[in-house]
Amino acid sequence: MTKTNAQDIAFRTIYNEAHRLGMEAANSHNCTPMVVQQHANPLNDNSPVQRQWVVPQGVCGFAWVSIRPGNSPFANWLKKNNLARKAYEGGVQIWVSYFNQSMELKEAYAYAFANYLRNTHGIKAYSNSRMD
């Protein structure tokens, strides 16, 4: 087995375990539901509520894992395998595209994914998110 093949297998194993832990974290997370209300006067929150919806998976948003530097062997492997892309602020990003629009579930996934990379393999990985 060549060094490249061994590294490819090692990085695939690391990525798969990070993904498994991310999915496990998200699937065991209990979201705080979001309540959306339509008021009689949209400019006055004290006006009577006409309609109300509950979104069980919480607020909408995005999450991703940032890995730096973007030219590390693991980051290069991610890019080569279309698992990450160059990040605007440097490094690479692994975008969390699971869990529909739930920011909380995406955050749980990204946090577990990044923690595994950082704490188990010393890879500089961080989770990030933003509300939509």
pLDDT in tens, the chain (132 residues): 676 789 999 999 999 999 999 999 999 999 999 999 999 999 999 999 999 999 999 999 999 999 999 999 999 999 999 999 999 889 999 999 999 999 999 999 999 999 999 999 999 999 999 998
Rounded to two decimals, the pTM is: 0.88
Q: Which residue has the tokens 């309540």?
A: 35
- In this structure, the number of other CB atoms found within 10 A of the CB of residue 16 comes to 10
Give the residue extent of every domain in the chain: 3-31+59-131
| pLDDT at residue number 108 | 98
Single-letter amino acid, residue 37: Q
C-alpha dist (Å) from residue 62 to 52, 54, 105, 106: 24, 20, 10, 7
Q: How many CA atoms lie within 13 A of 90 on its CB side?
A: 6
Residues paired with residue 36 on neighbouring β-strands, in sequence order:
53
Q: Which residue has the tokens 């996934």?
A: 109
| pLDDT at residue number 2 | 73
| pLDDT at residue number 1 | 62
Q: Minimal CA–CA distance to 125: which of 4, 26, 29, 17? A: 17
Q: Name 92's Cβ contacts closer than 8 Å, sequence gap at least 6.
A: 66, 67, 68, 70, 75, 78, 79, 84, 85, 86
